[in-house]
Structure 1
Amino acid sequence: MSDSDTNQPDVLVLRKGTHGMPVEQYADALRGRLPDRTVELARTPTAERDRIRDARFVTGMTLEDELLEAAENLEVFACAYAGTGHLPLEELEARGVAVTNASGVHGPNIGEHVLGAILRFTRRFHVGARQQRRQKWRHYQAEELQGSTVTIVGLGAIGESVADRLEPFGVETIGVRYTPEKGGPTDEVVGFEGEGFEDALARTDYLVLACPLTETTRGLIDREAFVTMDPGAVLVNVARGPVVDADALVEALRSSWIRGASLDVTDPEPLPEDHPLWTFENVQITPHNAGHTPEYYERLADIVAGNVRRFADDPDAALENQVRP
């Protein structure tokens, strides 16, 4: 499809950015990879409504119902987030619009975030920081990561990235996925249900949640899970807040059923100022920040630009990271 034929761009970029980075950077990254294509940024609400009417390939963080109604010729929506639960997926599917996501973009940065959280608790840096604030030179006991068991719930791009970064540390890894028969990069792979998952929880020193929020994973880590875990275990959640029963987590921390938690996501989110999770010294809270990386738009543009070319060559071709239909 040529811009000269229809006065429509090959790619329309919607105006919402992410992580505080100007969306212009995303449009520029696409232009650099598609020098022979037209990439247009709709920078205002009016421009979005006007330009999406005839656009076939659109990319952005969100797609509101009003905007979708105006998209009369939409064939591909390239979501700029890894998660697509916020999109009107049923309507998009009913209209035959192919939807792709940004899976893989977050692998390195979230993998590093998880590793940092694990090492923080292993070497108890939070204790050292607290004593530094109080100007107290007092030795404290620490742990070793080597020989620990790390369970990674979710073996997508993020889970695999975590497993790769743990490889040099001499740990045993257990992966949890819907189809354990597929295997994975971990030493063991189990499913979400049954004795295998319960046994994994009982053996876990560090429980990393890197799974999507689904009917299966909502409330997965509940009171029973915390009671099953060893008192020395640490929870690291970079998935979604509702994967963990928040009330059960507070009870587990108050009752010393686990050693601590690193939470990049919470339920609710943002976490209210009066929420008890703010008060625990053995809880690390970051504001859904693990996904931030200065390379976000560059990695995303690699995926989307490739799909622009595939779509131009064959509108019916399967696209990278296609999730619907």
Structure 2
Amino acid sequence: MSADHDAGESAAPSSEPTVLVLRKGTHGVPIEQYATALRERLPAGTVELARTPAEERSLIQDAEYATGMVLEEDLLDRAENLEVFACAYAGTGHLPMDRLEQRGVTVTNASGVHGPNIGEHVLGSILRFTRRFHVGDRRQRRREWRHYQAHELQGSTVTIVGLGAIGRAVSERLEPFGVETIGVRYSPEKGGPTDDVIGFESEAVHDALARTEYLVLACPLTETTRRLIDRDALVTMDPEAVLVNVARGPVVDTDALLEAVRSNWIRGAALDVTEPEPLPEDHPLWNFENVRITPHNAGHTPNYYDRLADIVAGNARRFAESDGRDLELENEVSF
């Protein structure tokens, strides 16, 4: 049993949740905070924190419900009774999904946790380019009191690729600014929070790009979205357009983006993700004033573990109360 778990407590009743928390944290925040947040939400349950590799190997053997950032295949091999893995990231591409499916393990993700913070990151990136704060920063460093031209967000067209929790959060935060919004999603017939919704057909996407001042990428990485923003897309965009990528690096063709910035095909880019990642120190993209690079940091928020614990604790209760019946969990991932 983990040293973090009170050995004096009696085992929780079978109707109460038991959750195993794996040891890897995120964003530099100790994983103990996640375990604490879960315990606050499951006062009658048991939350065990596997703080060392040995504890993970031991505790995973009997765990039915586990949560964490990663689940390595060698650890999954030991998970003889695992029924649910609550991934603490929104993306699950790093997990052994084929093996989990074969084992019949239900997987959930952290979709929705990042909406407010990444929405704010996107809005800040857009406003930075709109008011050209990077130019103001340069002139301040030089102690130059010299006016420069800026832009106005009102009346612009913003295209948001991906209308999940992050895309919706971006759309909501843009609403007071008087912009026209276009959403791109796999099922456009379902509509969305944007003024217009289109699918991923290349003609429809290119038509949208041709009238877009700000392009926000907030989609998962799939075969459809990989290199979605390629040379053709960048040439199609208006020279005054700005690209904001908070999705995954490979959604953008990096070589094409570098060419676009060098050739002034677009006004600039705000990249929280890159390909490769991390971006090598000698990569040319570091050197452009009109390219803002952040180290995959848009997801950071002091409220991460609390929002995640709300989802995971609720699902843990449903799991404990299901008694073998069909189970529907929030944020369940389709294989």
Larger mean Cα displacement after TM superposition, 26-35 or 307-316: 307-316
2:51 matches 1:76: no
Q: In 2, distance between residues paired with 1:144 and 1:3? A: 61
> Structure 1 length as normaliser, TM-score?
0.98
SS of residue matched to 2:74: helix
Partner of 2:194: 186
Hey, what does 1:3 align to over in structure 2? 11
Matched-pair contact (CA < 8 Å) for 2:261–2:267: yes
Q: Is 2:110 aligned against 1:97?
A: no
Distance 2:174 2:39 in 1: 36
2:288 is equivalent to residue 280 of structure 1: yes
**Which one of 250, 255, 278 corresponds to residue 270 of structure 1?**
278
Alpha-carbon separation, structure 1, partners of 2:204 and 2:248: 23
Q: How far apart are 1:4 and its partner, in Å?
A: 4.8
Deviations 1:171-215 (A, max 9, x none): 000000011111000000011113221110000000000000000
Match for residue 257 of structure 1 among 265, 286, 298: 265
Distance of 1:235 and 1:48 partners within structure 2: 42
From 83, 86, 96, the counterpart of 1:88: 96
CA distance in 2, matches of 1:165, 1:247: 31
The equivalent residue for 1:106 is 114
CA distance in 2, matches of 1:272, 1:177: 32
Following TM superposition, by how much is the alpha carbon of 1:5 offset from its aligned partner in structure 2, in angstroms? 6.6
Alignment RMSD: 1.3
Partner of 2:136: 128
- Please, which runs of 5 or more residues in structure 1 have no aligned partner? none
Residues 1-325 of structure 1: matches in 2 within 5 Å? 3-4=11-12, 10-314=18-322, 315=324, 316-324=326-334
Question: TM-score when scaled to structure 2?
Answer: 0.95
CA distance in 1, matches of 2:200, 2:294: 27
2:104 and 2:320 map into 1 onto residues whose CA distance is 17
- Residue 3 of structure 1: how far off its partner (Å): 2.8
Q: Percent identity?
A: 78
Question: Does 186-195 or 167-176 show the bigger shift?
Answer: 186-195
Moved more, 28-37 or 314-323: 314-323
Contact 1:9 1:40 in 2 (8 A): no
Deviation at 1:61, TM superposition (A): 0.2
CA distance in 2, matches of 1:293, 1:248: 32
Deviation >4 Å, runs of 4+: none
Name the residue aligned to 2:5. Answer: none
Structure 2, unaligned runs of 5 or more: 1-9
- Tell me the distance in 1 between the aligned counterparts of 2:53 and 2:334: 26
> Contact (CA 8 Å) 1:93, 1:324: kept in 2 or not?
no
Q: CA deviation at 1:324?
A: 4.0
Displacement of 1:36 in angstroms is 0.4
Q: Note the alpha carbon deviations across 1:263-303, whole angstroms, 9 max, x for none.
A: 00000000000001001110000000000000000000000
1:278 alignment partner AA: W
SS of equivalent residue, structure 2 residue 126:
helix
